Amino acid sequence: MHKYQDSSVRMIYEYYKDDLINILKNIDTHAILRQLSEKNVLNAENYMSIANECEGDVFPAKLYQDILELGREAVIGFWECLYALQKDYPNPDLLAVLDEINHTGEHLVHQILLDKHGHLLDPDLKASQNEHKQHLLKKTENLVEHRPPGTTLEPQEFYLNERYVNLIVVSTDEFRERPQNELKQTGAKHEECLKKMKTGLEHIFPNKLFRWNHQSQCVPHAVMVSGVPGIGKTTLVQKFVYDWVTGKHYQRFAFVFFFRFRDLNRLGEVSLEDMILHQYPYLENQIGSILEHPERLLFLFDGLDESIQQMDFRRSKLSNSKVKENLGEIVVSLVRQRLLKGCSIMITSRPTKLTSIDTGVFQRIAEIMGFLYGDRLIYFKKHFGNEELSEKAFQYVHENDTLYTFCYIPSYCWIICTVLSMCFRDQPTINDTMMTSLPKTVTQLFVTFVSNILANHSQTEEGARELLTSIGLMAEHGVMNHMLVFDKRHLESFSVTHDNHLSSCFLMESGQPPELDYTFLHLTLQEFFAALVHFINYSPDKLQKSLNCDSYKDGRAEIFLQFLCGLSDSSSRSMLKSHVGKLSTQAARHVISWIKEKIEKRQTSTSEEEKRALLNVFHCLKENRNKDLASQCLGSRTRFELFDVPLNPIDCSVLSFILDSSEKIEELSLNECRISAEGVRKLLPALHGIKELSLAHNNLHGSGTDLASGIRNNQTLKTLDLSHNNLEGPDISELMEVLPTSQIENLDLAHNNLHGSCTGLASGIRNNQTLKTLDLSDNNLEAPDISELMEVLPTSQIENLFLAHDNLHGSCTGLASGIRNNQTLKTLDLSENNLEAPDISELMEVLPTSQIENLDLSHNKITEESCTDLASGIRNNKTLRKLFLDNNNLEGPHFRDLMTALSTSQIETLCLMKIGLTDEYVPLLVPLSENENLIELDLSSNTISEAALSHIRELIMKSSSLKKIESFQAYNLDNRTFLYILGQKESFHQEWQNQFGFG
């Protein structure tokens, strides 16, 4: 940077403006301000208060601008700060920008100037470029928004920049088979994406699509942009072209050619030149000159999933732009650089299409994730143009889980806003009563949408039924066959007439007569009509065939099935009655019978696939809104679990409805379901009757407030498993505030990084009188933590305490203090803590006065030197029944002291597995033969010979004291001898002969 002139430094800084603001937004503010202060770029104290007060992009934008105004040294200092931060804060956007600057090097300024000013063209070519830009400007400057009847029958046009709301586009590098419906799958990924924006996903701005790719380590010439239906792929391409036309970016491309696959489907075999001139005939005189410089050309193809061509991106053969070939071969040859080597190409597609093609030929793959929270609100404000209406509408949608989740999709936002506009238009005032009458489910949303359209047309009941039947049959054909685009032949085949205003409210047409194509306003509207037709024109056989589509693995029918179930709700159907007459109650009963059958069949499902299928049926139940039906389907089961089934927030909302419908579910296990904080919020209202709740392995970091709220409102909860959730100080503090008033008896907080959080934990335990079992294993607790916990242990009712793998070396002074004054503790697990001689000595001093029955000291590097202390504690203790000393180094002369103490102890279970025992020390086991209480003895994984084992066995056989022994195990590391016997002593001899062939 120091090598560049002032103007170049400023130019580079401004070139990366969007990236830098996004980086500042997503890395630690304190860290960047500290770095800037250390490098004397600015005073961090002046900005810290501003950072705390600002939201969203306000502070990052201000910081960016202030640094620019401070001049050259400040800008260079800022870059140096970012470079220094990349190790501790490996933000993907930061790494990508720094990587691009490093690899572009001295050519960076040239690249920026080229993107800003473009190539020098001869006068004729420049004139053609200007004509081309004017043509594209007319095509892209307005955003066409389809409007329902009641406002106007014509589509509305808005200036693109006035209506456009930024979409989130992120980098990705793989596409896989998606078992769920695309909208639901991406909806689940959306929240995950938002969480990863800071650490795991690169944010791709439109002006970044053809810049250096950090992942593929090249400047991409072929880019794939993926996104579910309605998420804005076409609008993004339109904005991209508009920004090129208006000089905002990528002037390095002298010509940009924009095509839609649906418009190209009818072309047949053409040459590349023909394909261009078919859409841009005014370029005919210059087409040869234009194609002479492929590196100056960009081809945009929208809607790969709408193409009728099969494309094999693994091979290509076309290399001449004048040779006629099918469209698929032209596109593949452009992508593979066999045709017009050096040109750039971008293709958009639905995700499902990409599972069947080789995406490895694309140097950048990006996915549109739709709207963030703030973007949704902006969309509502732009749509309504009224502050009160937009806020009321947004608040209502935000409180409706299902509707809000789908609001990440722009076209869904349009449908929702359109429906709410219709509802508000018919009401003189917006009051609470009116708000409660708004649609609650996706089915009701579309019922309202369609009924409002029908209400604005003078249409006979018979005419409306006839039209909706023909449209519905065509819609279902499309759903079942992955078909979004229909032509005149399809309309004729299904008797769909498109010459009236009503059908044009549901179907959009594109292309030029006579070659017109038709699509539904949105895929979900198509799915709705596909379901509605079964209630207008009920046929048991046809409906059953449609219901059987739940066997499709690609999720194509999930939302269609939910609409079938939603329309089975009489209140949802009734809204259409005045327009189309009565809808079939037989169809409703048929669907409900199917729901019951599916749930009964999958009640005992164990595979993830079957559990996901069961969850899909639950989605159908929620859309039906019949709590009695949900309760009836759950039957008498008292336990429900979905182990290792990813649950997004809308899944959790569905589960909440299901659980709230049943008063019998007492045990809920959702381990390893990757539930987010928002998902927890959705679940909480339904947990009021749960006695045992397990949410292990869900990364609930930051969910303390919501978890605390759930505990506070539940007085039946006895067992709570929150292990493996990355909970920390604030989460624990909030949980512990409500622990004293809860009825929880068993609490598992293992694997939660609780180091330093024991002040809050101790507070909760001190005031609680119900907690019996507490698991704090794998939390890296140390001396101060243990001291705080042990101070409150004597006043608690805890009987079982697990502190395994907690780094307790040197912490036993506090531990011993807590044990000494406690009379309720029965089980203490101190395994895997690197306890040594002083620790063991302190523990054994207080063991005799404790009530401990089960003590686990395994995996602690205890040596033979501690056997005397162990012996002392055991000898004077009358309560110990189980002792685990496995995986310690106990061989040595003092081992006899331990065995002698054990001979008179009350111990029933003794584990001495892998303690380094060899033949030399086997005789030291002799005192065990005097123990009258021993039931289980484990000597596995010790290097003991067959002869020595035989000696031990004979010792057991002959002992008059070992009357109760039921289990004796011995397994040698050298695999030469194995002994595992269950039963009374009398059966030992025969069992030994049967297994090993000797006596």
Report pLDDT digits (tens) over 303-319.
998 888 888 898 888 89
Spatial contact of 414 and 383, defined as CB atoms under 8 Å apart = yes
**Residues, the chain:** 999
Mean pLDDT computed over every residue of the chain: 85
CA distance 10 to 71: 8
Half-sphere exposure of 558 (CA within 13 A, CB side): 20
Q: At what angle do helices 867-875 and 837-846 cross, to 10 degrees?
A: 10
C-alpha distances in Å from residue 636, one per residue of 622, 630, 714:
19, 12, 22
Give the contacts of 499 (CB within 8 A, at least 6 positions apart).
none
Q: Is 69 exposed, middle or buried (0-12, 13-18, 19+ CB in 10 A)?
A: exposed
* Superfamily of segment(s) 166-370: P-loop containing nucleotide triphosphate hydrolases (3.40.50.300)
Yes or no: domain 6-117 corresponds to CATH 1.10.533: yes
* Rounded distance between C-alpha atoms, residue 948 and residue 917, angstroms: 11
pLDDT at 205 over 80: yes
796-826 per-position pLDDT tens digit: 999 999 999 998 888 888 899 999 988 899 9
What is the reported pLDDT for 145? 60
Question: Does residue 988 have a pLDDT over 50?
Answer: no
- Highest mean pLDDT pick, 173-182, 239-248, 672-681: 239-248
Q: Where are the domains of the chain?
A: 6-117, 166-370, 374-445, 454-583
C-alpha span between 503 and 962 (Å, rounded): 89
Q: What's the whole-number mean pLDDT along residues 965-982? A: 51
Q: What is the pLDDT of residues 274-302, one digit of tens each?
A: 999 999 999 999 999 999 999 999 999 99
Residue 349 phi, psi dihedral angles, 5° rounding: -160, 155
Rounded percentage of the chain residues whose pLDDT exceeds 90: 41
Judge contact between 208 and 225, C-beta under 8 A.
no
H or E, element range at 802:
strand 800-802
Q: Is the pLDDT of residue 27 over 90?
A: no
Same fold, 6-117 and 166-370: no
Tokens read off for 617: 């049926």
Q: Dihedral of CA 830/831/832/834: which sign? A: positive
CA angle 672, 674, 676 (to 5 degrees): 140
Indicate if the pLDDT at residue 417 is higher than 80.
yes
What's the confidence (pLDDT) of residue 996? 41
What is d(CA 340, CA 272) in angstroms, rounded to the nearest whole number?
Answer: 10
